[in-house]
Structure 1
Amino acid sequence: MIFRKEYLTLYAVTNRVHAVRESLYDQVKAALSGGVTCVQLREKYMDDDRLLEEAVKLRDLCHSFGVPLIVNDNVNVALEAGADGVHVGQEDADAGEIRKLAGRDFIIGVTAKTVEQAGRACDAGADYMGVGAVFPSPTKKGAIRITKEELRTICGSVDIPAVAIGGVNPENMAELKGCGMAGFAVVSAVFAADDVKAAAAALRGKAEEILREEEMFQEEK
């Protein structure tokens, strides 16, 4: 699946701690039905066999909605499962090496918290950046925070698009207007909701509204 920046509009990152009343598969299906535009399988405590099993199931589910599946960190599982891409942190596999291994159409996302990291990701051939944490994150309590000014600077420093991540929810996402991101990554705002589909639909609407204003802001500059 060839990368398009529109996939970043509402980027859902899984966390099975929230899959209490239903399976991870059913939660992702509800999120897709609500309008998420990308799914990242991020389950740090699954072994490779279980992760592969989930990735294969979610790949087919995501593709039935025309949405890419990204696997967090584990390049081998992503490739074996036929996932559309992988997202790596600064201490994970190098984006340039992944590109050589996986080919041009494989989607590569890289976490970037500084302009320097963003530049390296761009030079290595990454398709997009994940930038944050932009708010206190209930999922990654020790995550390094970045300011709105830092988000704006990082987004404007390279040509590849960025998705803002970290504690994003319906109440605070509008605070990021004017920062230059191409979309919003969410975890608990979707998967911890009582009604996952409704939460995703509401967030998709808010995201699109903010990004329309973002485009107008950029055009006026």
Structure 2
Amino acid sequence: MKKQLDLTLYLVLDPLLCGGINGMINTTKIAVSNGVTAIQLRSEHEFSGKDWYYAALTLKEALSDTSVPLFINDHVDIALAIDADGVHIGQSDLPIDVARQLIGKDKWLGLSVTNQQQLKAVPWQQVNYIGIGPIFPTITKKNATVAIGTEQLTELVKLKQCPAVAIGGIDENNITNIIQTGIDGVAVVSAICGKKDIQQATLSLINKIKQVK
């Protein structure tokens, strides 16, 4: 099935919160069937390269009959090995032009930005979307930068030249304020990963997004 770049509700998988690789697969299937529009495998934990490869490969298979794309965070090698739909990189990862050269022109490429200086330096012709954050304090990302809040997010949204997704501490209690900034979508981790009722958690977020849009 043809994939779509829809940032509305972007799920970043955390293997610890989800309960390992099988937990990530199960979470993905339920979340996607209830409205999640993009999946990212974020490899920040102490898994081996082989583990990440098989996790990514299994996720790709789980998404094969959907229009939802799979992004690999940081690891261009794994993205290439499984022919993922795209890659997401941070400010300290490979330079954008190098990442683009490696993955080719047909894959989607996302870049994280935190402030106006980083946003102004984005090579817009090279990226398909940006991730802005962290918006609120978060415990799911190691070495996360200081939260920027919704006011700064609003200013950055005005300056962006491509689609953008907000990330960092977003949940059902604050997602409405995030969507009201004009952002294209929201990325969540613990708002879905690790929840007892994945279906209800996903539907709650989707309904709040729809109420604003």
- State the TM-score, normalizing by the size of structure 2: 0.90
Identity %: 33
Q: Output one character per residue of 1:121-150: Cα deviation in whole Å (capped at 9) or x when no partner.
A: 243511111111111213137522112221
Residues 1:199 and 2:198 aligned together: no
Look up the SS of the partner of 1:126 in the other structure.
coil
Aligned residue-pair number: 209
User: Aligned partners of 1:3, 1:182: CA distance in 2, in Å?
Assistant: 14
Task: Tell me if the contact between 2:60 and 2:70 (Cα under 8 Å) persists in the aligned partners.
Answer: yes
Task: Give unpaired runs (5+ residues) of structure 2.
Answer: none
Letter in 2 for 1:18: L
1:138-153 mapped onto 2 (5 Å cutoff): 138-140=139-141, 142-143=143-144, 144-153=146-155
Q: Kindly state the Cα deviation for residue 33 of structure 1 after the two structures are TM-superposed.
A: 1.6
Q: Kindly state the Cα deviation for residue 158 of structure 1 after the two structures are TM-superposed.
A: 2.4
- Further displaced range: 195-204 or 72-81: 195-204
Task: Tell me if the contact between 2:179 and 2:186 (Cα under 8 Å) persists in the aligned partners.
Answer: no
1:185-196 mapped onto 2 (5 Å cutoff): 185-196=187-198
Instruction: Name the structure 2 match of 1:72.
Output: 73
Task: Give unpaired runs (5+ residues) of structure 1.
Answer: 213-221
* Cα distance, 1:123–1:189 mapped onto 2, change above 3 Å: same
TM-align CA RMSD: 1.9
1:145-164 mapped onto 2 (5 Å cutoff): 145-164=147-166
Instruction: Name the structure 2 match of 1:28.
Output: 28
Q: Output one character per residue of 1:20-62: Cα deviation in whole Å (capped at 9) or x when no partner.
A: 3962211211111221000000122222211111111111212
- State the TM-score, normalizing by the size of structure 1: 0.87
Look up the SS of the partner of 1:8 in the other structure.
coil
Task: Tell me if the contact between 1:122 and 1:160 (Cα under 8 Å) persists in the aligned partners.
Answer: no
